[in-house]
Structure 1
């Protein structure tokens, strides 16, 4: 079974659209009771977000500034907490000398200078 077959099964086929968050600089609206746990679980007000499409939506408006992470729109900017990394690799496929990755945010990318791979240890 190929990566594209698995992507189709998971509903990950096709490019993931991302709003131009790098162009948005609204003032800080405040702190949101949301945390992305180190195991990749997104939690809002103590409850895990179980709808994958909602996680993907939030991932598409996630922005990092300095050491902080924010969910941004053209008019709002909410700080959230991230325990380790905001997105985890769910699928890996070797294509020749390259590695193609799919994240839990639905992004498909090739490891390289634009997308370096950073590994973290999860609970030993």
Structure 2
């Protein structure tokens, strides 16, 4: 059954309204509590650009991608799985499970809140539960925000530049950005 919740739209919403909308969407499946035996490979892959594939062909229905994203988690060994109460299937993830494609900010310094819209149709507000980090990769620094169950969203480069601009303007040492009461350095590991 496809995901029926509509994607979150950041445009024109206050951060308080957005936080309420995120909360009102309801809970996602409790994949962190499901631990069935690993039963194979899903023959699925999430490409670096966020495109989901099954048996080498793109999944064209956004609602199906949103549904699969709700049962995705990252294992302690770094692998990714699709999990239900009765099965666990491997899925290849080339970079990160999600991409942060849109951002809105309100406030300054310690009072700032930053929300990201993800390619899955979900949104997160950066903070203690959703920290921002810069990860060194073979392709160069990768700005990310934690989403859930070990999953991350790579922050689109233009959004990262906006974050860096705000950090430089505020003059923190080391350069970094505040969101929801937490400070995140914007230097690589």
- Whether TM-score is above 0.5 comes out as yes
SS of the residue corresponding to residue 68 of structure 2 reads: helix
Deviation at 1:25, TM superposition (A): 0.1
In structure 2, what is the equivalent of residue 93 of structure 1? 104
In structure 1, what is the equivalent of residue 10 of structure 2? 3
In structure 2, what is the equivalent of residue 110 of structure 1? 125
Change in Cα spacing, 1:76 to 1:68, as seen in structure 2 (3 Å) is same
Alpha-carbon separation, structure 1, partners of 2:80 and 2:92: 7
Alpha-carbon separation, structure 1, partners of 2:93 and 2:58: 14
Q: Which has the larger radius of gyration?
A: 2
1:38 maps to which of 40, 48, 53:
48
Which runs of at least 4 in structure 1 moved beyond 6 Å after TM superposition?
A: none
SS of the residue corresponding to residue 64 of structure 2 reads: helix
Is residue 58 of structure 2 the alignment partner of residue 48 of structure 1? yes
List runs of 5+ in structure 2 lacking aligned partners: 1-8, 14-20, 134-142, 144-153, 157-189
Structure-2-length-normalised TM-score? 0.55
Pairing 1:55-94 to 2, within 5 Å after superposition: 55-65=65-75, 66-94=77-105
- Alignment RMSD (CA, Å): 2.4
Q: How many residues align?
A: 116
Change in Cα spacing, 1:17 to 1:105, as seen in structure 2 (3 Å) is farther
Alpha-carbon separation, structure 2, partners of 1:57 and 1:88: 16
